[in-house]
Amino acid sequence: MDLDELRKEIDAVDRQIVALFEKRMEISERIAAYKQKVGMQVRDEKREQEKIHQVQNLTHTEFNRQHIEELYTLFISLSRKLQEELTKKS
């Protein structure tokens, strides 16, 4: 396998990641609407920590475990930011 083929594989994975990220953010929008409807705060630190531990347990190496925390901390931050923006607009 040459470098171009490997890069094509990365490109294919990236397309999937982007699609899944967009789906995750769409769900975050629905969560914002639900939280607003029932009077919940946007931030749920306990849930955030549970989610990070959950995805860390899905990894197979210590390297991945450390970095998945960084990735999901960013995902959660972006989801929270979106929810806060939507809540302010309503």
Q: How far is CA 29 from CA 2, 11, 49, in A?
A: 41, 27, 20
Per the structure, the complete domain to which residue 33 belongs is given by 3-89
* Distance separating alpha carbons of residues 77 and 1, to the nearest angstrom: 38
Mean pLDDT of the chain: 96
Residue 29 Cα to chain centre, angstroms: 13
8: its two tokens: 């094509």
Count of beta carbons in the 10 Å neighbourhood of residue 32: 22
For the domain that residue 41 is a member of, what is the CATH number?
1.20.59.10
Report how many domains make up the chain: 1
45: its two tokens: 């630190």
pLDDT in tens, 27-71: 999 999 999 999 999 999 999 999 999 999 999 999 999 999 999
